[in-house]
Chains A and B, each alone.
Chain A
Amino acid sequence: MGCGTSIAVENQTRPSETDGSIKQPSPALTIKAAILIQRWYRRYVARLEMRRRYTWNIFQSIEYAGEQDQLQLSSFFSFMLDNFTQINGNGPDLISHLLDSVVDPLTEEVRQLKQEQIVVPESYSGPHLSFPLSVTDTNALLCAFKEEQTLHGKYVLQLLYETKKFLKQMPNVIYLSTSYAKEITICGDLHGSLDDLLLIFYKNGLPSAENPYVFNGDFVDRGKKSTEIIIILFAFLLLYPDHMHLNRGNHEDHIMNLRYGFTREVMQKYKTHGREILQVFQDVFSLLPLATVIDNKVLIVHGGISDKTDLDFLSTVERHKVKSALRVPKRSIDDLSVRACSRSSSRHSGRSRLDSPHTSGRTSRASRRRKKHCTKQGSCSSSSSSSSSSSSSMCSPRVSSRNTPRRPPPSPSLPSPTDVLQVPFLDSFVSLEPPEPPREELEWQQVVDILWSDPKNHNGCSLNAFRGGGCYFGPDVTQTLLQKHGLCLLIRSHECKQEGYELCHNGQVITIFSASNYYEEGSNRGAYIKLGPELVPRFFQYQVSRSTRKLTLHQKVRVAEGSALRALKEKLYAHRSELMAAFQQYDIDNTGRISTSEWAQVVESVLRLDLPWRTLRPRLARLGADGNVEYKSCFEDISLGELIPPVTPNLAETLYRYRTDLEIIFNIIDKDHSGQISIEEFRQTWKLFSSHLGVAVNDQAIDDMARSIDFNKDGSIDFNEFLEAFRVVHKLDVKEQQQG
């Protein structure tokens, strides 16, 4: 037949029409097949979700553990100050010049004049600012920063001085209104992530009279573009003073900046003027307003509140005096001798309604961790008892003195604490109200609570010893405060959330976090809120992505998980000798293996990270043929880089574990930021640090190390080089890179 060919062709182009040789599966079979695939896929997704969750837990645990380290560091600073006489009279020079306000012979005006005289070289290709600022300037800044340019130090200083002048006239609490039917945009933590800020501006428009913004603190630290962010924010602040509002965050604090990267970033970008810039930042940060209230209904603060928070009192606080939350105001010795008996009780009076973690009976992770931390380290409690004569660390006014102090206090010893002062009167005892703590301390406490607190789901208000400051506040505390001031909503930031935002306390508290991929690429979204006159928040989410192609869920989880596991392995490595000693206690026959239970128990107790160790085990350690864990395998993946100074493995491990702290200390000692400190300073600092921590380090070993680091024998150490020696290498990664 003539048309046979065409039919055949037709058949080929339309294969869905059956030619009889393809069997149609029965509908029942199709359904079964579909169910099977669905079952299987849902399992696959669940496993990914589990990995994503524990990855998140790992990042959070390590972050909060890091903040506890900083509590330690802050108590070390206090300890240094208290004991400066022991450092051959070098004490005040070592620390106080940075931690106490600098007595500057130059007045503000003279300083500003000097800075105007700074000459910007011809070769400078970055933006030039002219004051008062205009839209041209802010546009120039945005363009320049997108092109990775740096603003010249002169303009930074000018900007900072202008900002300082401006902020001085602002009150502690700013009242805004949504009249004119404007929506106000509220952003959370940015932490140096310029990409996120630019993305927000791209999606939501630049700040202007029609587009007001509130930025809720933590603009700097952690990310690499903190200077760019803060410059942009301050520029818009000066340009639109009525429509741009910045709240202070706990990272707008010069001591936090020492640890979390802002100081380093400034010093690296501004070699000539860095020190002065940092000095002005210190002042400007403390001048940032503490809270914003919208329509007298919505309260916006960075951290949260406590049961002591009072907006009226907060309005009267001298906020610029609280330069850093990590330094409790000093109490004078006079104060002390008069109030010796009631000192401890006066400390408690400010917290008399507190649930002590010891008595509350809660077994929440946080309080368990706090117990573990305080009893193991003891440094928390030691500073609390020894703080009598001078400044104390952040947790000192509140730690229960039930923990035995590790050091006897140098000043008059304190009687055991009582809540009330009992005084004999006639033939009965009269209870006297313990005197109020000095106003300065009350003010400090109000500020710290605002900047550092976190909401929790149980009623009550308790110490946030996890963070080292502020409180955990429950729904009842929120309810009370909102009612007291006629408010309906609390918006805060301070905590990273996977979706960029989270509601709690029956919708009365919103956490808003604007730094996407905070822990790692793909770890979380960022978000911002838009609030109109009806005060119903609308949430907008986003996520910055380095690659143009969208990552699948699996890829995102894998990247984030890899990063979390690397961080965890480094922790294991940093505690290697402690872990090995504990492992070996279970391994009496020296087989090199212990059960999974034992392994998990050891790791949890040494690292004090509340993580699902059994679930994580396959990623961290190998099993032997008998199904037990080969515990040495947890350290296999990591090795220290080339060690420059010849040190014993134990010393190496200690130095590795504390390298962040050492870096901060060196940076403080290195007054002129040259990267060099004297051997003597190195030796003294290290000895003090290790004795404060209770770390047994051989003096001779330190001396040898110090001498060997000083290559050109000129009596000074290049500490950046020294710290470089303690970078770790993840061997598996290296292998992957080599094969890839």
Chain B
Amino acid sequence: MPNPEKFPFREMTVTLEGGKKLTLSKETLSAGLQYGPSHGYLPFRNQLKRMVEQWHAPPRWAESDLIVTVGNQDGISKALDMLLDPEDFIVVPDPCYSDFLCMLSSLAPQIVAVSVDDQGMRPDILQSALEKAISSGSTGIPKALYLVPNSCNPTGTNMGEERRQEIYAIAQQYDLIILEDDPYCFLQFNDKYLPSFLSMDVDGRVLRFDSFSKVVSSGLRIGFVTGPPPLLQGITLHMQASCICPPMLSQVLIHELLTSWGDEGFKKHISDICQFYKEQRDAMIQALKTHLTGICEWIVPEGGIFVWLKVLHLSDTSAMLLERGAKGDIVLVPGREFMVDSTKPSPYMRAAYSCVTPEEMMKGMENLAKLIQKEIELQSTHT
């Protein structure tokens, strides 16, 4: 270990929203600047464990553990490295979070794509797709099932409680590990409680990935994973060899922040951000209604930051958005990017309403309507 006396930083103070100042004690700053344990800064880990127990009451809590990761996506990436041998199957919703598909494209496992409805993965399609995989004669086995149960990226849908139980039951039948990716759990606009997969995990088959990126900071790169110790161990060993430990200063800061807030302060903060994103969503829906009625279809999201739009009279949105969008002063992500088979055309697009003002949304949707009209004309002159 290097000698921390030689590190040039002596004191650190941060000012929180509302003006409150947090000064890190000498010991705390020192902890923030030195190597720490691979599974996370202990006071922070303990704090997170208390929170997870409170929110999810996992049925096998005594046999569970929790580790801190460099953002939740690094945890997912290492979980895939750990679980998937070549030829193994992984179950994903279709459409699926594009960065996850990107991870899969390098590992190249066999993908079981399951179409979705307004609640996410369809259990009947899941069942038949798994049967097909099992009887395919492959040497690989279905190992894991990935989903984003709340405000799914990109569709914005929430999976209902009954549907979750159905999916869990199927995972039991085929002995799958469930990768519960839940970065938007705190960005839900109504009070409807949807139990997490972790909270129904009687078998110890769920790896739950939580994130602070939408709630406290994305740039600090802090997430955490909860699940069975033997699986967390695999991820931790890989962490040890790569980053050595999650960024210590980031962990220390979030720990101090959560301590300073207490449960009440945390709840208030969540309530404030939900209020903000709800207003953003409302402004977005207003902009959509104003400019895209009859041109697009959409489901109103109950949380998160995305709206999944379907263009009614186009078969594919990729060229329109990627080649002509910037000139038309509107950029969304083409739906094809989220499809397991990205060669097939997709009339969908994903819009994020997190960082634009209501005025920008209005202008953006007006631009989008014009862009789509032009594209429809372009298509018809070509046919």
Partners in one complex: no
Q: Which residues of B contact A (CB under 8 A)?
A: none
